[in-house]
């Protein structure tokens, strides 16, 4: 095997003892591999093969995820640049990240519960999704730092002037009822966090990010391979461990990412009559493709849709919508 990348890492425990390991990427006759080797002294090592296969992109996804886990445990590389990614420069947004880190390490769950209850009530009253009111991350920041004024609210990432104008009075009514031990402005957070603690937290965030990317890549690979093998949506879903609704969502995402889903769509709509497909298409032309319920009501009506099965009806609508949007995009391009 030809080693194309090798880096040494070390980790120091609470007693000051330093342990060492190596991470590597190799290639042999078109087969890529990546792994980890932990040194136990003298010539004793423990090897862990992370990946072996023909796809470089798949190797990178596995490599980044596994390496982030190791670095979250405290391993640090002798040479920087171990992730092989296109991330931004070091230090960009670091102040914001430290605010997030501190709020994760020192949570105020009692206040957070008060804020999430307020958000649920506000979302119901305004008929909005809760995350449109405030994200979990923002509520966590508010619960930990406990701003007492509008100016202090504005110091928190994600709390713009618009949200302050709408919700400051209600949020401050909650935060000012709770004692706080830390002041504003929040410049003290940077010094309060030990660098190693912050780095481990950052690598844990990377691990979460890379795990999501790896899962997305694996699902994409499973779907594309399933289409090439002429499998049905149900069969691909069984291989991927997903229900049909989740599979339809994945197909929509892949289509938006530029993958050709037409072969699978044809297979899934083979038992849907041309008249029914034409009626759905006409409804999209008349009503637009943003909302599915008006299209469902116009084509089927509530009674017929219930007889057919709502899940099945909405599945057909979503598959035909993919085609419809392609045609719309093609017409705009020609125009």
CATH code that applies to domain 94-188: 1.10.150.80
**What pLDDT does 98 receive?**
95
222 contact partners, CB below 8 Å, separation of at least 6: 236, 239, 240
pLDDT in tens, the chain (335 residues): 898 999 999 998 777 788 899 999 999 999 999 999 998 777 788 899 999 999 999 999 999 999 999 999 999 988 776 665 544 444 558 899 999 999 999 999 999 999 999 999 999 999 888 989 999 999 999 999 999 999 999 999 999 999 999 999 999 999 999 989 999 999 999 999 999 899 999 999 999 999 999 999 999 999 999 999 999 999 999 999 999 999 999 999 999 999 999 999 999 999 999 999 999 999 999 999 999 999 999 999 999 999 999 999 999 999 999 999 999 888 777 65
Closest by CA position to 158, among listed 92, 115, 100, 94: 100
**What pLDDT does 334 receive?**
66
**What pLDDT does 87 receive?**
47
**What pLDDT does 88 receive?**
43
**What pLDDT does 85 receive?**
53
Q: Where are the domains of the chain?
A: 2-77, 94-188, 210-265, 269-334
Q: DSSP letter string over 189-240?
A: HHHHS-HHHHHHHHHHHHHHHHHHHHHHHHHHHHHHHHHHTT--HHHHHHHH
- Measured distance CA(245)–CA(273) in Å, rounded: 22
151 contact partners, CB below 8 Å, separation of at least 6: none
Q: In the chain, what is the greatest distance between 2 CA atoms, to the nearest angstrom?
A: 76
Tokens of 306: 């219930």
Q: Do 250 and 242 form a contact (C-beta atoms < 8 A)?
A: yes
**109-126 and 136-145 helices cross at what angle (nearest 10)?**
130
State pTM to two decimals: 0.74
């Amino acid at each position: 095997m030809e080693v194309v990348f090798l880096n040494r890492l070390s980790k120091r425990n609470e007693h000051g003892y330093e342990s060492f390991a190596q991470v590597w990427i190799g290639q042999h006759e078109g087969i890529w591999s990546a792994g980890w080797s932990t040194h136990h002294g003298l010539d004793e090592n423990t090897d862990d093969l992370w990946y072996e296969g023909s796809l470089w992109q798949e190797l990178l996804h596995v490599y980044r995820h596994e390496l982030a886990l190791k670095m979250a445990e405290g391993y640090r590389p002798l040479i920087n640049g171990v992730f092989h990614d296109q991330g931004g420069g070091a230090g960009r947004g670091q102040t914001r990240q430290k605010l997030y880190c501190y709020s994760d390490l020192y949570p105020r769950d009692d206040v957070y519960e008060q804020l999430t209850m307020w958000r649920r009530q506000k979302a119901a009253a305004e008929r909005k999704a809760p995350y449109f009111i405030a994200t979990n991350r923002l509520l966590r920041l508010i619960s930990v730092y406990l701003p007492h004024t509008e100016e202090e609210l504005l110091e928190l990432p994600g709390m713009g002037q618009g949200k302050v104008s709408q919700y400051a009075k209600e949020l401050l009514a909650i935060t000012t009822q709770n004692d706080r031990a830390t002041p504003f402005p929040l410049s003290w957070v940077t010094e309060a966090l030990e660098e190693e603690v912050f780095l481990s937290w950052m690598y844990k965030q990377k691990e979460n990010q890379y795990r999501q990317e790896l899962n997305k890549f694996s699902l994409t690979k499973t779907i594309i391979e399933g289409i090439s093998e002429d499998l049905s949506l149900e069969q691909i879903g069984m291989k991927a461990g997903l229900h049909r609704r989740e599979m339809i969502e994945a197909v929509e995402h892949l289509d938006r990412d530029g993958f050709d889903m037409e072969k699978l769509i044809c297979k899934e709509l083979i038992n849907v009559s041309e008249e029914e497909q034409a009626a759905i298409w006409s409804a999209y032309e008349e009503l637009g493709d943003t909302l599915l319920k008006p299209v469902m009501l116009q084509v089927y009506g509530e009674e017929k849709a219930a007889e057919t099965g709502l899940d099945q009806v909405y599945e057909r609508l979503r598959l035909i919508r993919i085609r419809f949007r392609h045609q719309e995009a093609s017409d705009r391009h020609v125009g």
